[in-house]
Amino acid sequence: MKKKIDWSLCLVADVDSAGNRDLLDIIGEAAAGGVTLVQLRAKKLSAAAFLNLGLKAAALLRSKNIPLIINDRPDIALACGATGVHLGQEDLPLKAARRLLGNARLIGLSVSNLKEARRAQQEGADYVGLGPVFSTLTKDTSLTPLGLRGLKHICSRLSLPVLAIGGLDRDNAPAVIRAGADGIAVVSAIKAAENVGRAARELRAALVSGRQAVSEKK
């Protein structure tokens, strides 16, 4: 049985952008500040090093009851006991990942348009990471930002959770929630902050503000 997830605030813990800071320290501080989900990304690590990091992150987050999602690698997600895996459009196909992981673990897919999002839903994704919503320097991409209008258009046509990503911060987070996203995924908005825990708390407060606005409209 899949774990119930609070999609509000996902930290994309990226090894390559951690700089001189210890990534596990960043994860721990962000967890204390209120992130509800962590996606561990390590594009350049060897499989052995990625697994070792994954095991440490899983142990850290397990004690705080925060789910860990492994980026790109279903095998490492399985080996470290993660809650699931997040795949890109060029990674292992979703159906193949499902055969490896079974139905008890989550599988998310990065999508950038309605066609990709609908296909992900039809193939059984548990959630999608949708973006970029706004322009971002964190990830090199040629994709055109969706903007709030594009985000709203896609969210309104899906029945699975949507994590918005791309150029998100405490200022635009409420509008993203009002547009229909279930939560946001961020890298630099937390990782680059001088005080990681405070940045996470401020983002959570902004998300609460967005949800209150949605509730008041109903």
Q: Inform me whether the pLDDT recorded for 169 exceeds 90.
A: yes
Instruction: Locate the domains of the chain by residue range.
Output: 9-217
The pLDDT value given to residue 139: 62
Angle between helices 196-217 and 23-33 (to 10 degrees): 40
Fold annotation for 9-217: TIM Barrel (3.20.20)
- Residues involved in catalysis: 41, 110, 139
The first and second tokens of residue 98, run together, are 């499902």
Q: What is the 3-state secondary structure (H, E, C) of the chain?
A: CCCCCCCCEEEEEEHHHCCCCCHHHHHHHHHHHCCCEEEEECCCCCHHHHHHHHHHHHHHHHCCCCCEEEECCHHHHHHCCCCEEEECCCCCCHHHHHHHHCCCCEEEEEECCHHHHHHHHHCCCCEEEECCCCCCCCCCCCCCCCHHHHHHHHHCCCCCCEEEECCCCCCCHHHHHHCCCCEEEECHHHHCCCCHHHHHHHHHHHHHHHHHHHHHHC
Residue pLDDT, tens place only, 12-57: 999 988 878 899 999 999 999 999 999 999 999 999 999 999 999 9
The pTM of the full predicted model, rounded to 2 decimals, is 0.95
**pLDDT category of residue 1 using cuts at 50, 70 and 90:** low
